[in-house]
Amino acid sequence: VYLLFQALRQISQRTISTASRRQFENRVPENQKLFQEDNGLPVHLKGGAKDAVLYRTTAGLTVCGTIYALYYLLVSSMPKKPN
């Protein structure tokens, strides 16, 4: 059991230590330019079409959820009819 544990520990250390690291390009300055640009858009829509779709989807789900909750509040406030 001890040898198995030691072998597994060596394998895990070897795979972690030899993993290649990717170098990522620093895109912070270009994002700063994009978000600080004065183009009249709110900050949550400056990312483009993807941001607009996410915003509209979230707004739509919020409206639908509010209507659904109000409907069931109305239904639950009505007394049940005896049979």
Residue 36 lies in a domain: no
Q: Is residue 6 part of a domain?
A: no
Measured at the alpha carbon of residue 43, what is the angle toward residues 40 and 46, in degrees to the nearest 5? 75
Residue type for position 53: V
Amino acid at 28: V
- Position 29 scores a pLDDT of 93
CA angle at 80 for the pair 78 and 83, rounded to the nearest 5°: 155
Supply the pLDDT for residue 81: 84
pLDDT category, 68, cuts 50, 70, 90? very high
* Position 37 in a domain: no
Instruction: State the pLDDT confidence band at 50, using cuts at 50, 70 and 90.
Output: very high
**What is the domain extent for residue 54?**
48-82
* Total domains present in the chain: 1
Could you tell me the pTM of the whole model? Answer: 0.58
In a domain, 57, yes or no: yes
| pLDDT single digits (tens) 5-47 | 888 887 776 655 455 567 889 999 999 999 999 999 999 899 9
